[in-house]
Amino acid sequence: MLDKVAASWKATVLTLHPDMFPGSLGLSLAGRALEKGTWELEKVDIRDFADDKHRTVDAIPFGGGAGLVMRPDVVDAALNSVADNGSPVIYLSPRGRLLDQDLVKKLAAGPGVTLLCGRYEGIDQRVLEAREVIEVSVGDYILSGGEPAALILMDAVIRLLPGVMGNRESADEESFELGLLEYPLYTRPAEWQGRKVPEVLTSGHHEKIKQWRQEQAEEITRERRPDLWAEYLVKRNDTKLGR
List residues forming the annotated binding site for S-adenosyl-L-methionine. 118, 138-143
CA 134, 55, 79 angle in degrees (round to 5)? Answer: 25
Query: Distance (Å, rounded) from C-alpha 223 to C-alpha 100?
Result: 20
Query: Distance (Å, rounded) from C-alpha 30 to C-alpha 189?
Result: 30
Neighbours of 75 (CB within 10 A): 25
Query: Distance (Å, rounded) from C-alpha 131 to C-alpha 106?
Result: 20
Distances (CA, A) of 212 to 49, 199, 209, 230: 57, 11, 5, 21
Query: Distance (Å, rounded) from C-alpha 134 to C-alpha 149?
Result: 14
Which of helix, strand or coil describes residue 12? strand
- Annotated binding residues: 118, 138-143
89 contact partners, CB below 8 Å, separation of at least 6: 79, 113, 114, 116, 131, 132, 133, 134
- What does DSSP say about strands 69-70 and 39-45: parallel, antiparallel, or unpaired? unpaired
Written as one letter, the residue type at 155 is D
